[in-house]
A = this chain, B = another copy of it.
Amino acid sequence: MDKVKALKQTPLFGSLSEDTLVKLSEKTSEKFLKTGEMVFLEGEEAKGMYVIVSGTIRAMRIGADGREQVIHTERAGATFGEIPVFDGGLYPSTVVADEDSFLLFIDKKDMHQLCYEYPEIALAALKVLSKRLRYCASLIESLSLKEVSQRIASLLLEEARQRKPNENSIEFKLTLTNQQIAARVGTVREVVSRSFTRLQQDGLIKLQGRNVKLLNIEALASFEKFYIVSQNK
């Protein structure tokens, strides 16, 4: 069965035996989503969590003016909606499919039982949440202490890292729209656009349409970390 294979791929359930995975997979229910469809809304009652078999999702919050801030994104093999499973509360953010996606739903109670029966699952979940917490802490830092162009620099470096591991000049196609970048980085479309042109003027990147070339990764990384504004007069 396909579901079993999918569960096997995840960091959460990868440690389980074939048999156990079969039993688990029988308890899951399936959910198909088209791009843009919502999985759940912030504040909704939560009955369980999701595993992404294929596709990608974003978890986000929406401000009073309608602006969107992405909290985290997840792709195939990852899970989301775990928080209410472990602390009993409501879903902490709204989740939307960023591509057509196939999800498995796992009930709260089943998950608890698994954690008691197989401590390695609890440990794996702890690892997943820890990584997420790291990411959130960095996002907090950059929202509070860094400028937009620095945040964009780090997004570009991260995108690059996910493609080719390590060269000193990397070129790739941006799959994100400026609007999506803005929502991740905590600004608006126009500012993203201007930041790109500024990074280009400063010789850190080269743009041609949606094609980005990081001209000097070293410099970009140090810009991301250390750039300080005019200071005093």
Bound-state CA distance A131–B92 (Å) is 10
CB proximity of A109 to chain B, nearest CB, Å: 13
Contact of B186 with A143 in the complex, beta carbons under 8 Å? yes
Partner of A145, one of B67, B83, B92, B228: B67
Within 8 A of B (CB), among A101-138: 112, 115-116, 119-120, 122-123, 125-127, 129-134, 136-137
Q: Chain B residues near A88 (CB, 8 Å)?
A: 127
Partner of A83, one of B67, B119, B133, B186: B133
Q: Chain B residues near A62 (CB, 8 Å)?
A: 145
Which A residues fall within an 8 A CB radius of B? 61-65, 67, 69, 71, 82-84, 86-89, 92-93, 112, 115-116, 119-120, 122-123, 125-127, 129-134, 136-137, 139-141, 143-146, 186, 225-229
Q: Chain B residues near A120 (CB, 8 Å)?
A: 116
Q: Chain B residues near A227 (CB, 8 Å)?
A: 64
Q: Chain B residues near A129 (CB, 8 Å)?
A: 86, 126, 129-130, 133
Partner of A119, one of B67, B69, B119, B186: B119
Bound-state CA distance A122–B225 (Å) is 35
CB proximity of A62 to chain B, nearest CB, Å: 8
Q: Chain B residues near A137 (CB, 8 Å)?
A: 61, 71, 92-93, 136
Contact of A87 with B131 in the complex, beta carbons under 8 Å? yes
Q: Chain B residues near A63 (CB, 8 Å)?
A: 141, 144-146
Q: Chain B residues near A83 (CB, 8 Å)?
A: 130, 133-134
Partner of A86, one of B84, B130, B143: B130
Bound-state CA distance A116–B123 (Å) is 8
CB proximity of A231 to chain B, nearest CB, Å: 8
Bound-state CA distance A119–B82 (Å) is 17
A126-B86, A127-B86 as given contacts; A134 in contact with B92, CB under 8 Å: yes
